[in-house]
């Protein structure tokens, strides 16, 4: 069994001028998650670390840089799940914290609940000492510009982030975090924080983190569907393709996933044209953006 961390930066079209920085963002997130594993951390520690890095980057739609709702405000959703215990924690519609994925983990570890939303989630955050941040600190010039442009015309998207990992004990975990769909209604919650849709982790089959059109992903419970296929004997790659094919044939929707099994086999699959992804395993960094792309380099090589 080989420990691994696999991350994605959303199944969306990345503007050409942002391609390189987005790729280096997913690579450094996968690498940081992997370092956590090397230092003896669990798969849960690794996925949270990788996702925090991408939330802190303004180049992804999660944490700082999140796409804005119809009112031009940030409302973020996140999930974590621990495949060893089937423990999960989610938050939705949070507006005033920097790292929703850490709050999701706190929901899992410090409450008897699995999901807190909006003001209740913020009150809980304050009660456990998570610092409050201003909306302004989460909004970037780009997300504001993107919001205005979206209000006028296109339905362009920006990328949700997610990670799956297997640690040396064969425990799997997933984490996913997002600003949601651009110009969403106030209070809209997508697939990301919903168990089985935006992510799922079970040591008996594997872990998935999903991205795409949330309303569609939810209706097929995409992550759980993929793990169902793995339980039926499919490989991580074949199961991911089956799940994405069902999403497309049944609802005409496109999406993407990163998937691992407890043996450390992993894959990154998407039906969109692009999805920035990276995987770190055995001193090698794997990464890609366009469909069919798979680059490799050793950890010692500079990007």
In the complex, the residues that contact ligand ASN under the rule CB under 6 A are 10, 12, 157, 159-160, 178, 180-181, 190-192, 211-214, 217
Q: What angle do CA 66, 219, 254 make, to 5 degrees?
A: 60
Whether 255 and 275 have beta carbons less than 8 Å apart is answered as: no
C-beta closer to ligand ASN: residue 129 or 155: 155
C-beta closer to ligand ASN: residue 233 or 252: 252
Residue ranges of the annotated binding site for substrate are: 188-191, 211-214
Q: Closest by alpha carbon to 123, among 143, 109, 103?
A: 103
CB of 209 to ligand ASN, least distance (A): 10
Catalytic residues: 160
Helix (H) or strand (E) holding 89: strand 87-94
CB of 283 to ligand ASN, least distance (A): 30
Bridge partners (DSSP) listed for residue 8: 162, 277
- Bridge pairing between strands 4-8 and 87-94: unpaired
C-beta closer to ligand ASN: residue 255 or 264: 255
CB of 80 to ligand ASN, least distance (A): 16
Q: What are phi and psi of 245, to 5 degrees?
A: -65, -40
Q: Closest by alpha carbon to 276, among 23, 16, 2?
A: 23
């Amino acid at each position: 069994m080989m420990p691994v961390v696999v991350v994605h930066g959303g199944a969306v079209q990345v503007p050409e001028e942002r391609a390189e920085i987005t790729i280096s963002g997913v690579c450094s997130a996968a690498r940081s998650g992997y370092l956590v594993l090397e230092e003896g951390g669990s798969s849960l520690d690794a996925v949270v670390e990788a996702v925090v890095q991408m939330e802190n980057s303004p180049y992804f739609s999660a944490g700082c840089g999140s796409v804005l709702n119809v009112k031009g405000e940030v409302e973020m959703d996140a999930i974590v799940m621990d495949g060893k215990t089937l423990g999960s924690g989610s938050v939705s519609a949070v507006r005033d914290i920097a790292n929703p994925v850490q709050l999701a983990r706190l929901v899992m570890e410090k409450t008897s609940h699995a999901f807190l939303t909006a003001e209740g989630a913020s009150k809980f955050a304050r009660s456990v000492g998570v610092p409050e941040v201003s909306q302004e600190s989460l909004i970037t010039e780009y997300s504001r510009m993107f919001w205005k442009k979206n209000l006028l015309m296109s339905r362009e998207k920006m990328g949700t982030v997610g990670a799956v990992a297997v640690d040396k004990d064969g425990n799997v975990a997933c984490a996913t975090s997002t600003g949601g769909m651009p110009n969403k209604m106030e209070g809209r919650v997508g697939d990301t924080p919903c168990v089985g849709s935006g992510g799922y982790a079970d040591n008996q089959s594997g872990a998935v983190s999903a991205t795409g059109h949330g309303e569609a992903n939810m209706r097929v419970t995409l992550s759980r569907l993929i793990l169902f296929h793995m339980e039926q004997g499919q490989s991580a790659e074949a199961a991911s393709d089956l799940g994405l094919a069902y999403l497309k044939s049944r609802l005409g929707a496109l999406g993407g996933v990163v998937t691992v099994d407890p043996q450390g086999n992993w894959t990154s699959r998407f039906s969109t044209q692009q999805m920035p992804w990276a995987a770190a395993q055995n001193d090698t960094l794997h990464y890609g953006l366009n469909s069919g792309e798979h680059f490799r380099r050793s950890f010692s090589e500079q990007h």
